[in-house]
Amino acid sequence: MTKLALPALVLTGLIGLGAASPFVYAQATTPAVQGQAAPDRAAQRQRPLPGERIEARLAYLKTALKITPAQEPQWNALADVLRRQARDRDAEIQQRRDARQSQGSPAQPATAIERLERRQEMLTKAAAQTNDLVTAAKPLYATFTDDQKKTADQLLDRGGRHFGHSRRH
């Protein structure tokens, strides 16, 4: 892996592309009233969409990396890519949620080939997103001081963990 690819992966991991949030969100539940259906358990457990937390994550990164006014144009280019990727993930997640709700009954299990094809599609999409991210991150990383590079490199360790928590798939 090249030295410039690692910072892109750092930022990817921090923004949460494909990684589950390490935080647990508690939600109040209401017991089912006699004659009424209990609330959908999946709806109760829904995690926030990536777009709902992207601005907070960008603000954290900008502060942690100590982005200077001279680095703003490169930072803004990277932030725009990350925002777009978060919006795209929001749309995909919402589409899956809507499809799940409209099915009503449990879906038939996917065949081995269907699962492989879905995995291939996801990996192709992830590669394209990573390319976009590397393209936007390289110019910013090139402007970093040694301290900023050290911070960026430490934000995501080589084990694929962010904020000290392992990734969940």
pLDDT of 95 strictly over 50: yes
Question: Can you name the residues that pair with 165 across neighbouring β-strands?
Answer: 162
- H helices of the chain, in order, are 5-15, 41-45, 50-65, 72-103, 112-143, 146-155
- Confirm if 6 and 149 have CB atoms less than 8 A apart: no
- Between the two ends of the chain, the Cα-to-Cα distance in Å is 23
What letter represents residue 16's amino acid?
G
pLDDT of 10 strictly over 90: no
Q: Which residues contact 48 (CB under 8 A, 6 or more apart)?
A: 21, 25
Residue scoring higher pLDDT (65 or 97):
65
Residue scoring higher pLDDT (17 or 73):
73
- Confirm if 87 and 51 have CB atoms less than 8 A apart: yes
Measured CA to CA, the distance from residue 64 to residue 159 in angstroms comes to 20
Residues 53-74 have pLDDT tens digits of: 999 999 999 999 999 999 999 9
The pLDDT assigned to 98 comes to 85
DSSP secondary structure letters along 29-56: --PPPTTSPPPPHHHHHPPPPHHHHHHH
- Average pLDDT of the chain, as a whole number: 76
Q: How confident is the model at residue 24 (pLDDT cuts 50, 70, 90)?
A: very low
Residues 111-169 have pLDDT tens digits of: 999 999 999 999 999 999 999 999 999 999 999 999 999 999 888 655 444 433 334 44
User: pTM here?
Assistant: 0.64
